[in-house]
Structure 1
Amino acid sequence: MEQARLRARELGLTPGIFNTGTHNAITDVAGVAVGHVTLIDGEATRTGVTAIIPHAGNPFTDRVPAGLAVINGYGKLAGATQLAELGELETPIILTNTLAVGRAVEALVDWTLARNPDAVSVNAVVGETNDGRLNDIRARGVGAEHVLAALDAATDGPLAEGCVGAGTGTMAFGFKGGIGTSSRVLPEGLGGWTIGALVQANYGGVLTMDGIPAGRELGKWYLKEHTDRGDADGSVMVVIATDAPLSDRNLTRLATRAMAGLARTGAAFSDGSGDYAIAFSTHPGVRRDAERRAQQAVIADWPNDRMSPLFVAAAEAVEEAVLNALTMATTTIGRDGRTGRRATGHAIDLDALRAILARYGR
């Protein structure tokens, strides 16, 4: 019988120094909503869509500043160049599998055009990881209707994690990966801001959990045998939201700190990995609505010398989001999209993990 899954904190893993938000999720940033569509069909389809909506208004007319960080660019992140050039989001962010990016872009454009009759250019932002180890990715099971359903399903509050949405078929560190989320709240003396992270974990390396070498203890890590490529390749998409009044420049800096959180989990950042992070701010003082753009209004800008606590919080939230993706994921049987053979992604054994944590005094 499948083990009951637990979040990292329920197992005694508490990375970092800052407190979490109410739900310990990206939705602790007010206004942010997340929706999943999970596709499990027959023996082969194990994939899905996750939608992140930055606020309850119209993302196209009421744009949020955003920043992008890339550490290894083996990926198909649609909309990346305009995001980097203009420093803003004008659509929700969609996460899905590699071969579904085109269909997701079309669906997100349709969704945006339906709400904006004057729009003639839409920068649809769609990220991906390749779930072909458990999903018949060549069958291209994700359609526009699934993207639209994920957008319609978006909600705030507690979020499903593990084998849901865009994490349905992913692997991480040789274990079943998935979607994970976490948040941090700064003390009032540091601004009182909330930082939330959501990850689509599908990458590898030498798994470290809150400083504990869990991958080595469990006998599974990259380069265990020099003739085996191991579990390094793969990709990860990170989305960070905050209510702090940040410029796109400082949001780019914040997105870069996501890589520190990934590094703490033992990420290899390998040649075949796409490692991307997008950060955006929901603060009303930095929104780029039509009136503000027309008036060339001065916008709020949190000072550079007060960014360090936000950097720490972002790294912590990303690290814990990855841990949640792993501990909440369930063993999944699918079909390798390359070979067509039956494949199993084994969830990390929580009983074995508890024993390891006990040895390390957790």
Structure 2
Amino acid sequence: MTAQERPRLDELGIGAGKYARGAINAITDVPGVRVGHATISDGHYNTGVTAIVPDQLTPERRSLPAALAVGNGYGKIVGATQLQELGAIETPVLLTSTLSAFRVADALVAQLLAQPGHEQTTTINPVVGETNDGALSAIRDRPVGPEQVAEALASAAGGPVAEGCVGAGTGTTALGFKGGIGTSSRLAPVADAEYTVGAIVQSNFTGLLRIAGVPMPAAEMLPEPSAETIGNSCMIVVATDAPLDSRQLARVARRAVYAMRGVGADFDQGSGDYAISFSTAERGAAPRDEDLSPLFHATMLAVEEALINSVLRATTRRGPEGRVGHEIPVDEVRRRLAAAGTSELE
């Protein structure tokens, strides 16, 4: 069974919870947001780049309101201080492998400086997140660089998003199973309007997996343990077309981190858990804080489902020295969900 033949959470009959999924159930449901991947997978390397590209960033509009939430700061995220200080992103958000983060950031800057409209640019703040795929990839070689960054940006598209062992998720493990890239979206009423919130994740952390509240212990479901997770981290990117300011987006980002507990994250002391949120809306009056609760709840639902999808869609990968990240057995997932009578996210 290939990654894209493996079921997503909605295909297992689990309802969306209080707020409906978007049409594609991906971060690309937010208008103007595209996603691209570049993947290296040959048994020695299992790694890559994932690019989240908002079309609203143009030479005429150099930044979008954004925010960063840090669940635990043991990470190598590039661009964090300016993101926090200015409450804005100036570039696409790229995800990759820990030791390749700095090569990816340099390549992203080079790509942007070569674009029309940047002929006089003398400062730009790249945003690059990472998790450690060293269990299943020869991470010290730092194989990800300009070629993969160019490929991920060039391939970025709307519509369905490849999940599981692709791009930045190619070599990650999560919750005892093979992890990777996952995405989901929700529609949320804010005051008199309906907005979309979409999430994409790079999962690489420990804990006891729960799907819609049902425990899925890897120790019981796998014939042998997966390669031990290194780095114990997660990157989450949340996009919305709601006209939020950076302070409100920081509140959204914090909810995205909270959602990790819904799937069983143990928030180990060595984790690097980050959520970046941004708005694609045209500049205008932000909604009242009193109206944001549905958007907060929708964010947590979307992130929780994206995290689950990252595991469900991942396929077994073998890395150096015989280490293996085992895919979750889908038939056993179905059996446990049916036995629990679970039908919906909360």
Give the alignment's TM-score, normalised by structure 2.
Answer: 0.92
Using the alignment, how far apart are the partners of 2:129 and 2:219 within structure 1?
32
The corresponding residue for 1:338 is none
The corresponding residue for 1:32 is 33
The corresponding residue for 2:44 is 44
The corresponding residue for 1:72 is 72
Deviations 1:42-92 (A, max 9, x none): x31100100001225427843110010001011000000000000000000
The 8 Å contact of residues 29 and 196 in structure 1, kept in 2 or not, is answered as yes
The 8 Å contact of residues 74 and 272 in structure 1, kept in 2 or not, is answered as yes
The corresponding residue for 1:16 is 17
Please state if 1:279 is matched with 2:257.
no
Deviations 1:149-203 (A, max 9, x none): 1011100011110000000000001100000000001247662000000000111
The corresponding residue for 1:213 is 215
The corresponding residue for 1:309 is 294
Q: Which moved more, 1:308-317 or 1:3-12?
A: 3-12
Gaps of 5+ in 2: 223-227
Using the alignment, how far apart are the partners of 2:59 and 2:68 within structure 1?
18
The 8 Å contact of residues 233 and 270 in structure 1, kept in 2 or not, is answered as no
3-state SS, counterpart of residue 119 of structure 1: coil
Please state if 1:320 is matched with 2:305.
yes
Please state if 1:118 is matched with 2:120.
yes
Match of 1:360 among 328, 340, 344: 340
The 8 Å contact of residues 28 and 160 in structure 2, kept in 1 or not, is answered as yes
The 8 Å contact of residues 167 and 178 in structure 1, kept in 2 or not, is answered as yes
Using the alignment, how far apart are the partners of 2:78 and 2:190 within structure 1?
37
Matches within 5 A, 1:1-362: 4-41=5-42, 43-58=43-58, 61-115=61-115, 116-187=118-189, 191-215=193-217, 218=220, 234-285=232-283, 299-335=284-320, 341-362=321-342
Q: Which amino acid aligns with 2:21?
A: T
The 8 Å contact of residues 314 and 327 in structure 2, kept in 1 or not, is answered as yes
3-state SS, counterpart of residue 181 of structure 2: strand
Distance 1:182 1:80, change over 3 A: same
Q: Which amino acid aligns with 2:98?
A: T
Q: Which moved more, 1:47-56 or 1:77-86?
A: 47-56
Give the alignment's TM-score, normalised by structure 1.
Answer: 0.88
Q: Which amino acid aligns with 1:275?
A: D
CA shift, 1:263, in A, is 0.9
3-state SS, counterpart of residue 155 of structure 1: coil
Gaps of 5+ in 1: 221-229, 286-298, 336-340
Distance 1:27 1:232, change over 3 A: same
Q: Which amino acid aligns with 1:242?
A: T
Q: Which amino acid aligns with 1:256?
A: R
Using the alignment, how far apart are the partners of 2:235 and 2:138 within structure 1?
21
- Identity among equivalent pairs (%): 50
